[in-house]
Amino acid sequence: MSISTLLWIGIGVLVATLLYHAYSNKKSNTRETANPTTPHPKQTPDISTEKKPLNSAVAKKAFLDNINRFISKLNSLCDGTYNGNDWIDDIIDINNQDLIEFWKKCYKDENSVLRLLAMWGIAPDKCTSFVAMDFHKKMYELADNTPIMKGNTYKVKTPCWILTSSDGDGKTKKSIILKGKIE
């Protein structure tokens, strides 16, 4: 026998084997589909294991709708007293799955929480001291409740917190959600 004859026989056996396996798989598939009461495991999705993508806009709205729950906790993110566990009950009470899932991903690290809040338009003012102008009166207050005097220099004890949002016309709007303390 020549080499070319052996080569053709080998190719023939290979093709026959491939055809046999293809036919066997097709035949077993028709047996599985012939009995409609036994669903194929890949055809029936398990809803309990499917994860829907997180919706940041939904989580943001839930958080902002309940911002009053968190105002007293915001300064803990800046003064070194942050404890994510202090926020958990309020987050869970809001009962918004997207917010809960976002919170689970970041609550252990205060910098991650600050980034999440910044993504939602909530951030502390970063100045440490300033010469007072009229607009500072809306942002800060003195501990003894005396009026802020324009032109005086003040040191920031706790920052004011600002919410940056867009109105219906796409214009940026800034709101003070927590006044800062100065001396």
Query: According to the model, what pLDDT value does residue 54 have?
Result: 81
Query: According to the model, what pLDDT value does residue 170 have?
Result: 81
Query: According to the model, what pLDDT value does residue 47 have?
Result: 45
* Mean pLDDT across 75-83: 94
Gap between the Cα atoms of 74 and 159, Å rounded: 10
Q: How does pLDDT run across 24-75, given as a tens digit for each residue? A: 665 555 554 555 555 444 444 444 455 678 888 999 999 999 999 999 999 9
Query: According to the model, what pLDDT value does residue 143 have?
Result: 87
Position 120 confidence tier, pLDDT thresholds 50, 70, 90? very high
Position 169 confidence tier, pLDDT thresholds 50, 70, 90? confident
Nearest CA to 178 out of 149, 156, 148 is that of 156
Query: According to the model, what pLDDT value does residue 46 have?
Result: 46
How many residues are present in the chain? 183
Position 113 confidence tier, pLDDT thresholds 50, 70, 90? very high
Pick from 11-15, 123-127, 159-163: least confident: 11-15
- pTM for the model: 0.68
Nearest CA to 122 out of 169, 181, 178, 180 is that of 178
Do the beta carbons of residue 164 and residue 174 sit within 8 Å? yes
Q: Where are the domains of the chain?
A: 7-48, 51-120, 121-183
pLDDT at 122 over 70: yes
